[in-house]
Every structure is written in structure tokens, then in C-alpha cells.
Amino acid sequence: MSDGTPAIILSFYCPYQSGEVKLDKDSIDFVWASYEEAKKYDLVEGLLEEIEMVDKILKGENENEVGYGE
């Protein structure tokens, strides 16, 4: 996101259980995306690296050894 708008991003990695996504009044949209699909979006700086870390964990890498930006 390169428009200079300040943003606070809270990232969580957790398993999906059930239900529908419910956006609050401040949210615009959401998307479920794989790491490869996420590369197509204009994301806040650093967010793609976080998604990549989770992708590595889901593919079997030790979560204690997965580092930011590796």
C-alpha cells in the first residue's frame, strides 16, 4: 500500500474452524489467498513476508526456524 495512509495491521496465524467472515464498519473487503495468490495484491509493506512465513510452516518447515524475510 503505497499511498501513505497510516495503517495498523494485526496478523494472526490460526486454523479456520467454521463460519462466515463478518466485516466491521471500518473494513472494506477481505480475501482468502494462498502465498502465490497474495503476490498479486498491493499489500502493506512486510505483510507478504508474513504470509510467506505461514506458507513455509504449512508446508512442514519448523515454525521455530522460519524467519522473517528468509
Question: Dihedrals φ, ψ of 60, to 5°?
Answer: 105, -5
Q: Please, which pLDDT band fits residue 37 given cuts at 50, 70 and 90?
A: very high
Which has more confidence, 53 or 70? 53
Global pTM reads 0.74
The span from the CA of 69 to the CA of 18, in Å, is 31
- CA-based end-to-end distance of the chain: 22
The span from the CA of 40 to the CA of 10, in Å, is 21
Mean per-residue pLDDT for 20-32? Answer: 87
pLDDT at 55 over 90: yes
Extents of the domains making up the chain: 37-62
pLDDT at 2 over 70: no
**Which residues, 6 or more positions from 66, have their beta carbon under 8 angstroms from its beta carbon?**
53, 56, 57
